[in-house]
Chain A
Amino acid sequence: ETTLRMANWLPPSHPLVAEVMVPFAEQVAEATQGRVTVDIMGAPLGPPGAHFDFAVNGIADITFGVQGYSPGRFKTTNIAELPFLGDSAEAVSVAYWRTFDEMLIDAGEYDRVKVLAVFTHGPGQVFTKGRDLTSVDAIKGVKMRVGGGIVHEIATRIGATPVEGPSSKAYELLSQGVADGILFPYESVAFFKLIPLLDQGLAVPGGLYNTSFYIVMNKAKWESLPEEDKAAIDSVSGEALARLAGQMWDRVDAAGLAEMEGKIAITTASDAQVAALAAQLQPVIDAKLAEVSETGVDGAAALALMKAEIAAAGTE
């Protein structure tokens, strides 16, 4: 009998814990007929960005987190974070896992762990207060809270003034008027209680960015498991786990959108706006793909595969 300790930096009620990690733990126990159980820790062992190394160093057996919290470390993540990929986190997540399994894994970024899943959040959109978002240059000069990474570059390219700060500070930045807009998925706007602080939303088809997540396991611990348990865990991780997570993000995005009803007026971007955004963001996309290619994985080919898989996953 083995107990795997899962490090956790989120409150137990967070949907990523309650609706992904807890069901996953149950599935592992079920698939291994109780030989392997996953124990989710109640208190964090360190800041979110430290969690990948917690798995590498064996401090916890399983950890999850956001690749973007360790800048410079994961270049292949770019593939999943690009604008205009898709409206469904489930489709994007499943496609991301398949692309990862087929191509991205060759970059070697995850060689020191066993990868249980990679997946993404729902699409990030634009939210502001007191701004008409229907014109082509609507975003120009808006002080937009960003977390860094690709979102910072996207905000800059579309003419916003990026205001840096962690997502936990988003409320503070918006309520105090330090920022007057934010790039976020629907779920996060609701989760961080920002709805009263915003009144306009711009929904860009396919979204402006996604956030990439990982769930990984300590390699030595993985290798110490008997073959039948490994096979059992494999049967509930990988694509299945990516799908579970993507479905959760889609559910909470829908709930967030419903909560905005009557409080935030959401406009779908016009063709002219989409065309303008596409032109503005092409240099970001090119630069990100070039970064992926630095790892030895062909960035353009990976994106092509990713898009094909998104289309395929969307029709399944």
Chain B
Amino acid sequence: MSNWPVGASILFVLLLSGMPISLALAAVGTIGTAAIIGWGPSLSLLGQTFFDNSRNYSLSVLPLFLMMGNFVVQSGIAEELYRSANAWLRHRRGGLAMATVVACGGFSSVCGSSMATAATMTKIALPSMRRFGYPDDLSTASIAAGGTLGILIPPSVILVFFGILTQQDIGKLFLAGIVPGLIGVLGYAIAVMISVRMRRIDLPVEEKLPLAARIRSLRGTAGALALFVFVMGGIYLGVFTPTESAGMGAAGAFLLTILQGRFSLRTTFETLFETAKTTAMMFFILFGALTFTNYVNLSGMTGDMQIALTFFGDSPTAVILTILAIYLVLGCMLEGLSMIMLTVPIFYPVVAAQGFDLIWFGIFVVVVTEISYITPPVGMNAFVLRSVVPDVALKTIFRGLLPFVAMDIIRVALLLIFPVLVLFIPAHM
């Protein structure tokens, strides 16, 4: 019954050999399950897992939130967010990088994916930062880090997955992400200041805009603000369920695209095609992870893992710090969604048994996933930056990210010490 170390080792080798994560998970899960319950049942379970989970109504929010984000990209409101943030921050040293972080936060409030946020902001913020002579490591790092907020500030694809895996209210998870997200924006702005000070970079500072001009710049943010208020307000006031909010948000973003004069049939189909591909890719990872999780459950690994989590003591603090350490290590090597799907089903019963609120744990998991996006060697957002601007070395991006990772660690500590930062808003829903 406990052949899981063999299975886990084979999975590790397959992953390192470059096999698609989804297929490696499905293959090892099926073979491992066959070793326990026989080939016939195991192969039946494979077919059932891939089909029966593909018709999960709650999961329909994923393509719809992806669609919303992609329409928002198409609508061009990212430029206006950046212009406005810049109007307020241009007179500070490192102002353009701070504006980048703030605009990333704004964009995150209408886009549920970190990689989409990073990719979009690269195209908008990087050219002007380069024009003003910002060093590549600072400018790319502020985008890569700011982009991670996409999964914390609602809406969030990762929080949807977490909610499904742990049967938590997705609306509450969304609301819980707001304050930690704002702390994240603040932390990254401080990281920019630290970078600028420590390295004594001589950055040009623009003259301060008059208040009237600054306020006028806010007009450009109206579209994003309206969309955010529509989606989150709709959930908060109960006009529609979180599941429905995705469809309403996608429709709102589509409308915004038309209002901004960015509609074209061709671009729309390209946007939808990208959405469908990302959907297929993500769901296959989910199905693969579920196949592997079944093997894990049948093999008794869950029990072994739960014992392992209390290795350093079974006080809540010891367990959560052990989990944090595991996530920091895994986060270096694994892509965020895969990491969550592999670990959350195993961890959350232990965490709940220790008396932690699972809404809080969801935000904790998302913040450590954000860290995983910007730590070497596998940092998805750094990769996104690198694929958009191939002339910057990955090493440069990761070097620039150091102060941002440090701020993330401080943020995790804050959430650990003051859980109320997470739970205040959802408690008043």
- Whether the Cβ atoms of A58 and B44 lie closer than 8 Å is yes
- Whether the Cβ atoms of B241 and A45 lie closer than 8 Å is no
- Whether the Cβ atoms of B294 and A45 lie closer than 8 Å is yes
User: Is A46's beta carbon under 8 Å from chain B?
Assistant: yes
Closest B residue to A163 by CB, please name it.
B241
User: Is B40's beta carbon under 8 Å from chain A?
Assistant: yes
Closest B residue to A218 by CB, please name it.
B41
Within the assembled complex, what's the spacing in Å between the Cα atoms of A41 and B171?
30
CB contact between B52 and one of A46, A168, A171, A175 (< 8 Å): that residue: A46
Within the assembled complex, what's the spacing in Å between the Cα atoms of A49 and B290?
16
CB contact between A41 and one of B42, B244, B297 (< 8 Å): that residue: B297
User: Is A42's beta carbon under 8 Å from chain B?
Assistant: yes
CB contact between A58 and one of B40, B52, B237 (< 8 Å): that residue: B40
Within the assembled complex, what's the spacing in Å between the Cα atoms of A166 and B345?
21
User: Is B302's beta carbon under 8 Å from chain A?
Assistant: yes
Within the assembled complex, what's the spacing in Å between the Cα atoms of A168 and B243?
13
**What does the 1/0 interface line of B157-171 toward A look like (CB < 8 Å)?**
000000000010101
Question: Chain B nearest CB: distance from A163 CB in Å?
Answer: 10
Question: Chain B nearest CB: distance from A221 CB in Å?
Answer: 10
- Whether the Cβ atoms of B45 and A57 lie closer than 8 Å is yes
Question: Chain A nearest CB: distance from B4 CB in Å?
Answer: 14
Q: Which residues of B contact A53 (CB under 8 A)?
A: 44, 48
User: Is B9's beta carbon under 8 Å from chain A?
Assistant: no
User: Is A226's beta carbon under 8 Å from chain B?
Assistant: no
- Whether the Cβ atoms of A172 and B242 lie closer than 8 Å is yes
Per the CB 8 Å criterion, the residue count for chain A at the interface is 25
Q: Which residues of A contact B240 (CB under 8 A)?
A: 176, 178
- Whether the Cβ atoms of B45 and A47 lie closer than 8 Å is no
Question: Chain A nearest CB: distance from B166 CB in Å?
Answer: 12
The answer to whether A57 and B48 touch (CB under 8 A), given A42-B302, A166-B57, A172-B241, is yes
- Whether the Cβ atoms of B297 and A59 lie closer than 8 Å is no
- Whether the Cβ atoms of B48 and A169 lie closer than 8 Å is no
Q: Which residues of B contact A175 (CB under 8 A)?
A: 238
Q: Which residues of A contact B242 (CB under 8 A)?
A: 172
The answer to whether A176 and B238 touch (CB under 8 A), given A42-B302, A47-B56, A59-B48, is yes
User: Is B37's beta carbon under 8 Å from chain A?
Assistant: yes
User: Is A301's beta carbon under 8 Å from chain B?
Assistant: no
User: Is A173's beta carbon under 8 Å from chain B?
Assistant: yes
Q: Which residues of A contact B52 (CB under 8 A)?
A: 46-47, 49-50
User: Interface residues of A: mostly helix, strand, loop or mixed?
Assistant: loop
**Which parts of A32-72 form the interface with B (CB within 8 Å)?**
41-43, 45-47, 49-50, 53-54, 57-59
Per the CB 8 Å criterion, the residue count for chain B at the interface is 33
Q: Which residues of B contact A173 (CB under 8 A)?
A: 241
Q: Which residues of A contact B239 (CB under 8 A)?
A: 176
User: Is A23's beta carbon under 8 Å from chain B?
Assistant: no
The answer to whether A59 and B44 touch (CB under 8 A), given A45-B297, A176-B241, is yes
User: Is B53's beta carbon under 8 Å from chain A?
Assistant: yes
- Whether the Cβ atoms of B53 and A59 lie closer than 8 Å is no
Residue picked from A45, A168, A173, most chain B C-beta under 10 Å: A45
- Whether the Cβ atoms of B302 and A58 lie closer than 8 Å is no
User: Is A283's beta carbon under 8 Å from chain B?
Assistant: no
User: Is B133's beta carbon under 8 Å from chain A?
Assistant: no
**Which parts of A225-276 form the interface with B (CB within 8 Å)?**
none
The answer to whether A178 and B238 touch (CB under 8 A), given A42-B302, A172-B169, is yes
- Whether the Cβ atoms of B297 and A168 lie closer than 8 Å is no
Please name the 3 residue pairs, one residue from A and one from B, whose CB atoms are nearest each other, closest first: A176-B238, A57-B44, A58-B41
**Interface CB pairs A-B, < 8 A, 28:** A5-B37, A41-B297, A43-B302, A45-B45, A45-B297, A46-B45, A46-B53, A46-B294, A47-B53, A50-B48, A53-B48, A57-B44, A57-B45, A58-B38, A58-B40, A58-B41, A58-B44, A59-B41, A59-B48, A165-B241, A166-B57, A169-B241, A169-B243, A172-B241, A172-B242, A173-B241, A175-B238, A176-B238
Query: Which residues in B have some Cβ–Cβ distance to A below 8 Å?
Result: 37-38, 40-42, 44-45, 48-49, 52-53, 56-58, 167, 169, 171, 235, 237-244, 290, 293-294, 297-298, 302, 345
In the complex, besides A57-B48, A172-B242, 20 extra interface pairs with C-beta distance below 8 angstroms are: A43-B293, A45-B45, A45-B297, A46-B49, A46-B52, A54-B48, A57-B40, A58-B38, A59-B44, A59-B45, A169-B58, A169-B241, A169-B243, A175-B238, A176-B239, A177-B238, A178-B238, A178-B240, A178-B241, A178-B244
